[in-house]
Amino acid sequence: MRFNRSCLLGTALIALFVSFGGCLGTGTQKPTDFYLLQPLTSSAEEHGAVVGEGVVLGIGPVRVQEYLNRPQIVTRTSTNEIKIHDFHYWGEPLNSTFTAILAQNLSVLLSTDRILIFPYRSKQELPLDYQVVVDVVRFDGEPGVKASLLAQYYILKFEGNERKQTVTRQTSFSKPLADKSYETLVATLSALVADLSREIAGEIKAASAR
């Protein structure tokens, strides 16, 4: 009988410690934060002059490097070292949000709402004037130092269904980070996408003028 009481006491203590440990773990678990890129605001300064109803733009594909193609936000601790953050996530896949923000920005900058997102479903119904393809090579930041965007983009010009011209550019942008917060990092990355959008819009305006 004494042996059975000891076993019961030991079992009760184990259950108590497991229960206490579970409560402690739940109480101290760090919440995950989610972030989204933000588009340009539709201000008068940003609007471009486009003849007629506005160009028909095909956006994409936008291809993101594999080290960035993950739910977690990636930062850089040195030239060759990156850090993947378990508690700071993109609100949607990075290539999707990058494509959507680029499309919204170009819609504002070129004063057109005739935007098709790759893969195109209505290409024959609404023939493209231009297609923008982007390869995102770098899109990260060193907290408290700077955020960087390195990309190569291609602008295809069409007349009917015939491709007439191709613009190929490699470009890079960077901006300083005022602090080490992820809110500042994501806001600055959004500003870098805006810079890329302005450059692409400028190329399309130049092509339209020729």
Supply φ then ψ for residue 147, to 5 degrees.
-115, 145
Tell me the C-alpha to C-alpha distance, in Å, between residue 188 and each of 100, 144, 181, 191: 17, 11, 11, 5
The sign of the torsion formed by the CA atoms of 62, 67, 68, 70 equals: positive
Whether the full predicted model's pTM is greater than 0.75, yes or no, is yes
Q: Which two tokens stand for residue 7?
A: 């076993």
Tell me the domains of the chain and their CATH numbers.
31-209 (3.40.50.10610)
Per-residue pLDDT of the chain (210 residues; tens, 9 = 90+): 444 545 444 444 444 444 444 444 455 577 899 999 999 976 544 555 444 468 899 999 999 999 998 999 999 887 778 889 889 999 999 999 999 999 999 999 999 989 999 988 754 567 889 999 999 999 999 999 999 999 999 999 998 778 887 899 999 999 999 999 999 999 999 999 999 999 999 999 998 877
Q: Which two tokens stand for residue 138?
A: 């770098």
Cα gap 173→163, rounded to integer Å: 29
3-state secondary structure of 67: coil
